[in-house]
Amino acid sequence: TGPDAPTTPDAAAPAEVRARPAEVTREAARRRTFAVISHPDAGKSTLTEALALHARVISEAGAVHGKAGRRSTVSDWMEMERARGISITSAALQFEYDAHVVNLVDTPGHADFSEDTYRVLSAVDAAVMLVDAAKGLEPQTLKLFRVCKHRGLPVITVINKWDRPGLDALELMDQIQEQIGLRPTPLTWPVGIAGDFRGVLDRSTGDLVAYTRTAGGATRAPEEHLPAAAAAQREGTAWDDAVEEHELLSADGADHDQDAFLAGVTTPVIFASAILNFGVATLLNTLIELSPPPLPFTVVDPDAGSAPRGAGTPTDAAVAAADAATAPARTRPVEAPFSAFVFKVQAGMDTAHRDRLAFARVCSGVFHRGMVVTHAQTGRPFATKYAQAMFGRERAVLDLAYPGDIIGLVNANALTVGDTIYLDEPVTFPPIASFAPEHFAVVRAVDSGRYKQFRRGIEQLDSEGVVQVLRSDLRGVQAPVLAAVGPMQFEVATSRMQGEFNAAVRLEELSYTQARRTDAASAAELDRLRGVEVLQRSDGSLLALALDKWRVHSVHRDHPHLTLESLVAGE
């Protein structure tokens, strides 16, 4: 039996596991759960390795991500991922550091998988925004940052690759201020220009933190702390320049302010070189000292009209959002009995065990493997005997988890993205906002004799959120429409239909680029308009697809009584 073999289930959770509020308070307080957001190639995988290395989870950089020429790949699991060198799936990495428990929730870097990233961002308490020193802010960074802002997530910025020629440090600060409207408050300031990374000025102590290169950045980089006088003597004008700019920043009010950081007004900035392990310890310390521990999550208020959804009748994200806007938000204290919500569902992690894994973020209480929880959406019991902590492909059995932790639930066939599970005290968390698809394709089974496999596969991909599935009477059950945020989602769907469900499919791309929410009253009339088609999503909502934005505008103008609403909350 390998690491995937299910272990013997425990008996149900003992009663004392349920009622230890002081322990939950303590455990929650020492947890930090965050995600790294960045444009592809900014160095996210390298930074993940470096963080794990610093926490001594792995002894040598390369064990987590396994770039070409280094050790085996752990966090990438699909053939496609390996072929493309990108990370499509999410995995969570947990490690202890300085008496704290750090949960790093991995996000896919490719723009096409942004929807997955958005879901991950609903499960974390802070984000680290990784910026390539030479490229500055890039489109994907900006897009992801806007989601953080919408979620109210505090953001720590890391300027990476300072070992290579890049932009001027002050110019990078200007970009952050101007392009994302966050006030940068550097915690460290580089000594030496980009490409000549000697160390940083620690702005809280005024000391120089000097870094020493190690062979290939493969071990922890030694740090040396020198007081200002010694630093000036050693680094000369590079030190003087850093001091001058540091003073300029202070005069400009760019010093760290914890309240402003937590309120999303400022972002602490750290200069680093992930590949050389420079600045990585500073990042870990910053996460522990500044980023927030798990806080109470907002819940759907059962008295406010948006009742928890029953099976097959999902609550509309927009309704929940509107309710949240009018009523004071109710929250679930972290000490309340166990509760968690599913932010990611995945199948085919291992072709030998065709299981379905749901990733859930613990919001309150203690999770104890073996406890039987309630699935809020159906009211049915769900046994958690096979809960596992995930670390790339490696699975370790997870016995206990606290608020902020990510649990992987095996055999989670009933669980869908956004679902809530709880113990004792009922609760439902609001659904995770989904994002507006911009790519649409009709999907058909190549071999019509394999319709059963086809249907099962499409249902599976739909419930995992790999693609959205839209249907209409007109198109019929044999030819549903797949909707995606990016076209690579179609490639994943096609490859999995063939490989996992043995049902090869043919896609025929449609020329629609826009999707809007509509209602039954408007559907028939919209369907008669040229360049518009109404389909039903599996969550029951009606979507009107249109060729382009111009078509949406003209429908709004010529038929103002018809409902066409944006799918994206806050837009």
Residue 54 binding ligand G4P, by CB under 6 A: no
**Token pair recorded at residue 423:** 């113990």
Backbone angles phi, psi at 242, to 5 degrees: -65, -45
Among 44, 361, 496, 551, binds ligand G4P (CB under 6 A): 44
Give the H or E element holding residue 144. Answer: helix 139-151
In order of 129, 370, 386, the CA distances from 11 in angstroms are: 42, 6, 12
Q: How far apart are CA 295 and CA 359, in angstroms?
A: 19
Q: How far apart are CA 488 and CA 400, in angstroms?
A: 36
Nearest alpha-carbon partner for 317 in 65, 67, 532, 570? 570
Cβ contact 266:183 at 8 Å: yes
Residue 273 binding ligand G4P, by CB under 6 A: yes
Name residues whose C-beta falls within 8 Å of residue 149's C-beta, 6 or more positions apart in sequence.
180, 264
CB 223 to ligand G4P: min, Å: 16
Residue 296 binding ligand G4P, by CB under 6 A: no
CB 339 to ligand G4P: min, Å: 32
Q: How far apart are CA 273 and CA 158, in angstroms?
A: 9
Nearer to ligand G4P, 43 or 418 (CB): 43
| Residues forming beta bridges with residue 128, ordered by sequence position | 36, 156
Nearer to ligand G4P, 42 or 172 (CB): 42
Size of interface with ligand G4P, in residues (CB under 6 A): 18
CB 128 to ligand G4P: min, Å: 12
Nearest alpha-carbon partner for 526 in 481, 484, 569, 474? 474
> Is 108 assigned to a binding site?
yes
Cβ contact 81:89 at 8 Å: yes
Backbone angles phi, psi at 449, to 5 degrees: -70, -15
Residues 143-202 binding ligand G4P (CB under 6 A) are 160-161, 163-164
Nearer to ligand G4P, 141 or 374 (CB): 141
CB 163 to ligand G4P: min, Å: 5
Stretch that binds ligand G4P, among 43-51, 350-358, 384-392, 454-462 (CB under 6 A): 43-51
Q: Which residue is nearest to ligand G4P (CB)?
A: 43
CB 274 to ligand G4P: min, Å: 4
Nearer to ligand G4P, 277 or 364 (CB): 277
Residue 67 binding ligand G4P, by CB under 6 A: yes
Among 28, 33, 35, 45, binds ligand G4P (CB under 6 A): 45
**Location of structure tokens 């000549």:** 196
Stretch that binds ligand G4P, among 198-206, 269-277, 412-420, 500-508 (CB under 6 A): 269-277
- Give strand ranges (E) for 65-205: 92-97, 100-105, 126-132, 155-160, 183-186, 188-191, 199-202
Stretch that binds ligand G4P, among 37-45, 218-226, 282-290, 342-350 (CB under 6 A): 37-45
111 backbone φψ class: left, alpha, beta (φ>0; ψ -120 to 50): alpha
> Is 106 assigned to a binding site?
yes
Cβ contact 238:161 at 8 Å: no
Nearer to ligand G4P, 64 or 503 (CB): 64
CB 441 to ligand G4P: min, Å: 27
> Is 107 assigned to a binding site?
yes
Stretch that binds ligand G4P, among 36-44, 137-145, 411-419, 538-546 (CB under 6 A): 36-44
Residue 73 binding ligand G4P, by CB under 6 A: no
- Cα dihedral across residues 335, 337, 343, 349: positive or negative: positive
Among 63, 269, 275, 458, binds ligand G4P (CB under 6 A): 275
Nearer to ligand G4P, 106 or 533 (CB): 106
3-state helix, strand, coil in the chain (%, to 5): 30, 25, 45
**Token pair recorded at residue 210:** 């000097």
Nearer to ligand G4P, 134 or 232 (CB): 134
For 49, how many CA atoms within 13 A lie in the half-sphere containing its CB?
A: 28
Nearest alpha-carbon partner for 156 in 248, 262, 45? 262
Stretch that binds ligand G4P, among 235-243, 271-279, 356-364, 407-415 (CB under 6 A): 271-279
CB 156 to ligand G4P: min, Å: 16
Residues 400-419 binding ligand G4P (CB under 6 A) are none
Q: How far apart are CA 441 and CA 482, in angstroms?
A: 5
Please give the annotated binding residues for GTP, written as ranges. Answer: 106-110
Please give the annotated binding residues, written as ranges. Answer: 106-110
The contact set with ligand G4P (CB under 6 A) reads: 38, 40-46, 67-68, 109, 160-161, 163-164, 273-275
